[in-house]
Chain A
């Protein structure tokens, strides 16, 4: 795997994206509107916001991420640039690596913008360190984009791919969703430090690592035509 080629893919995708900013704008708008809806509904009917806050934050990020994921490869297919990508002297693993990093950058931008908005709109009494919560979210994002990038290629060739992506993705993502919310809850509600969430962080990291290996091994088969 040549890191320079991986970065070429990342740069190409970022350049294409920031020419129009379609995907990132949609993601941010979607995150914003769901956040407002949650904030309004939860504020009206739920007595203790902190108990469900981290779960809501993480779900908003995951659903927002789905928008980005479904675009990353579909755009290549729609514009007909997928053939070019296949023909380019870049291995499938490098393409996947580039897409993962590109999706990760988008998710990080969304996370960094949504997190403060979440604190403000939900009127959330943050107990722990905001930096630790952000790092934890970034780790969860990483696990999410690794599995998501690989699986979005698989469903790219199916009919109704936008419908299929969450159906296929969520069961595989289950451990990440579970542990990220658990750890986030400890940090944001109980004010836990890094030591207290080390167990969750370890398993999330292991998950990301294992899934990265599986993705790299199977990606070649998913991409071929």
Chain B
């Protein structure tokens, strides 16, 4: 299936409308909520940004896994381009996940970093894919780069659930973090934000894959 410019425009429009609708509701419409912890009464609004970004992070790394596995099966460099592009945006969104989470954790839980299982897992995920890029930059041959980073992509993905399980076990003694309950009208808004942010990610991914394809085409005809 060829991905045309019109699809990209539709995606971008979706991003814009959904983000506008979600942000407007999250910041202007909803009032403070009932929460045992005082700061959360207003700060819960971060959920409409933090959760979608986090969803994109994990989607991105799933696409990296798919790209890696498909590369090893098909040996088509396009799959590797998809995997590495997706990992790149996964790292960007992963960094944003960590930052929005830390900014939120300070007033809500008392400190920026708490070694909460979710925090820890996201941090380890971030390091795994940082290593993925460290490996890519130190292998020169394109084929070997694609092949070896695919293997690491698979290892990293398998390591994530194991990391989560091990951290929940390790931190089982910690007090449970008090969560808040969402009102019925917040659900659809959060859903909109998640879909909008995913659309943004797919749009960026499409652009990046396209640019890489053009660069390769240019190199193959001898341009610089």
- The judgment on whether A and B are partners is yes
Between A and B, how many residue pairs show CB distances below 8 Å? 91
| Those of A178-222 within 8 Å (CB) of chain B | 178-179, 182, 199-200, 203, 206-207, 210-211, 214, 218, 221-222
Complex contacts, A151 vs chain B, CB 8 Å: 152, 155
- Residue from A200, A206, A207, A218 with most neighbouring chain B CB atoms (10 Å): A218
Residue of A nearest to B147 (CB): A221
A170 contacts which chain B residues (CB < 8 A)?
A: 127
A170 to B125, CA, bound (A): 11
Query: Known contacts being A158-B135, A158-B139, is A210 close to B162, with CB within 8 Å?
Result: yes
- Interface residues in B113-150 (C-beta closer than 8 Å to A): 124-125, 127-128, 130-131, 134-135, 138-140, 144, 147-148, 150
Q: Let me know if A154 and B152 touch, CB within 8 A.
A: yes
Chain B contacts of A171 at CB under 8 A?
Answer: 124-125, 127-128, 131, 156, 159
B151 interface contact, C-beta 8 A: yes
Size of the chain B interface, CB-CB below 8 angstroms: 30
Please give, as numbers and ranges, the residues of chain A lying within 8 Å of B150 by CB-CB distance: 221
From B127, B151, B166, A222 is in contact (CB under 8 Å) with B151
List A contacts of B134 (CB < 8 A): 164, 167-168
Q: Within the complex, what minimum Cβ distance (angstroms) separates B115 from chain A?
A: 10
Are B165 and A203 in contact (CB-based, < 8 A)?
yes
Check if B163 is an interface residue, CB within 8 A of chain A. Answer: yes
Q: Is A78 an interface residue (CB 8 A)?
A: no
Q: From known contacts A154-B148, A174-B124, infer whether A221 and B166 are also in contact, taking CB-CB under 8 Å.
A: no
How many Å lie between the Cα of A174 and that of B161 in the bound state? 11
- Say if the beta carbon of B170 comes within 8 Å of chain A: yes
Choice from B124, B125, B144, B155 contacting A218 with Cβ under 8 Å: B155
Q: Which residues of A contact B138 (CB under 8 A)?
A: 158-160, 164
A62 → chain B, closest Cβ, in Å?
Answer: 15
Chain B residues with CB under 8 Å of A175's CB are 159, 162-163, 165-167
Q: Do the beta carbons of A218 and B131 come within 8 Å of each other?
A: no
**CB of B169 within 8 Å of the partner chain:** yes
| Contacts known (A175-B163, A179-B166, A200-B169); A218 close to B72, Cβ less than 8 A | yes
Chain A positions within 8 Å of B170 at CB level? 178-179, 182
Nearest chain A CB to B5 CB, angstrom units: 36
B158 an interface residue at 8 Å Cβ cutoff?
A: yes
B151-A218 in contact (CB<8A):
yes
Given contacts A175-B165, A179-B169, contact A154 B151 (CB under 8 A): yes
Shortest distance between the CB of A178 and any CB in chain B (Å): 5
Cα–Cα, bound, A164→B137 (Å): 11
Q: Is the CB of A157 within 8 A of B144?
A: yes
A179 to B128, CA, bound (A): 19
8 more A-B contacts (CB under 8 A) besides A155-B148, A159-B139, A203-B162?
A155-B135, A157-B148, A158-B135, A174-B166, A182-B169, A200-B169, A214-B154, A214-B155
9 A–B contacts, CB within 8 A, in A order:
A154-B148, A157-B139, A159-B140, A168-B131, A171-B127, A174-B159, A178-B166, A178-B167, A179-B166
